[in-house]
Amino acid sequence: MSKILMIDDDADFSALASAHFTRLGYAVTLAPNGKDGLAKARALKPDVVFLDIMMPEMNGIEVLRELKAADETAEVPVIVMSGKYMDRGMTDLFAQEGNFKAFFAKPVVLAQLQKKVEELVKK
């Protein structure tokens, strides 16, 4: 069973996405902030991380870099999501990190997210 870690402070979106992927047979773990997410990532070693950009305590780019820097999570693919506008410069900033694999604007179309997850888990 593939494992997804969702680091997002939006409880409604987290519940919706978690229910969707759980129905598909994924084991989904939720983390409401970056610090909790990093601890869970190290313990869980997920197959994919969903990462929100705007969160309290630690923003998404900080979390992305910490995941890349830690040996146990450096190779975990990360899908970044945000309800805020992302310009090309921001996307380029995330793309510099080798673990960044995709960006999805919220509200996310779950079928598109599912397709990307399936692609990443197969690799």
Structure tokens at 2: 């593939």
Q: What is the CATH number for 22? A: 3.40.50.2300
**pLDDT bracket for residue 85 (50, 70, 90):** low
Mean pLDDT over each residue of the chain, to the nearest integer? 91
The residue segments making up the domain with residue 10 are 3-122
State the average pLDDT over residues 56-62: 86
Please tell me the predicted confidence (pLDDT) of residue 76: 97
Count of structural domains, the chain: 1
